[in-house]
Structure 1
């Protein structure tokens, strides 16, 4: 239930924007509180570390995603799409606005660039 609902909710936002580290921590905190806390008064002990829970099932974990790395991977996917399919509408709009004379990999991030473009360049 955690993986299919709570961990999947920010996925669309993470494909467009680089989430702040504080928000990643709050989402991870909600996941860990659901997993480990019984109630506010009666807290349970953490028998397994979060690092172990984020390992794949083959490695003995539960397969939860590290949100920071997952966010970077989703942004890199959009960057890859811009590089491999320069004729798609997304690539034409973004490169036309932010780097019309340079290659996508060589363009600088201006101070007036949108938060979404900055995230894609980080990816």
Structure 2
């Protein structure tokens, strides 16, 4: 589920922290409401399997990667309906780097 939303929106850090908390609780306790008693530091699950981790990806980095992908799709003018809508209604100037940020699109 988070991959879909990361593809479309830049998730707020509060949402990412909450998702990490829920995942942490579920992995260590099997239920999303309990987070005490973990046997391994949550930071160590991001290590590669060869180094003893679970090879998880950090959601904050994953979200930034997807945002860069969206920017790339906009710049090469290929992609989904979202790219076409963005080009038509949001990005009106010839240069995306000089575009003004509007509150209604944030």
Contact (CA 8 Å) 1:15, 1:75: kept in 2 or not? yes
User: Structure 1 stretches of 5 or more lacking a match?
Assistant: 1-8, 116-123
Of Structure 1 and Structure 2, the greater helix share is in 2
- The structure 1 segments of at least 4 consecutive aligned residues displaced by more than 4 Å after TM superposition are 87-90
Query: For 1:66-93, what per-residue CA distance to the aligned partner results, in whole angstroms no more than 9, with x for missing partners?
Result: 111111111111101111x225564443
Count of residues paired in the alignment: 104
Higher relative contact order (CA 8 A, sep 6+): 1
Matched, 1:28 2:25: no
Structure 1 length normalisation: TM-score?
0.68
Does the residue aligned with 1:80 lie in a helix, a strand or coil?
Answer: helix
Q: CA deviation at 1:31?
A: 1.4
2: CA distance, partners of 1:34 / 1:69: 21
The match for 2:104 is 112
The two structures have a TM-score, normalised by structure 2, of 0.77
Query: Is residue 86 of structure 1 aligned with residue 81 of structure 2?
Result: no
SS at match of 1:71: helix
Q: Counterpart of 2:103 in 1: which secondary structure?
A: coil
- 1:13-42 per-residue CA deviation (whole Å, 9 max, x = no partner) reads 111112222221221111111222377xx9
Pair 1:58–1:100, CA change in 2 (3 A) = same
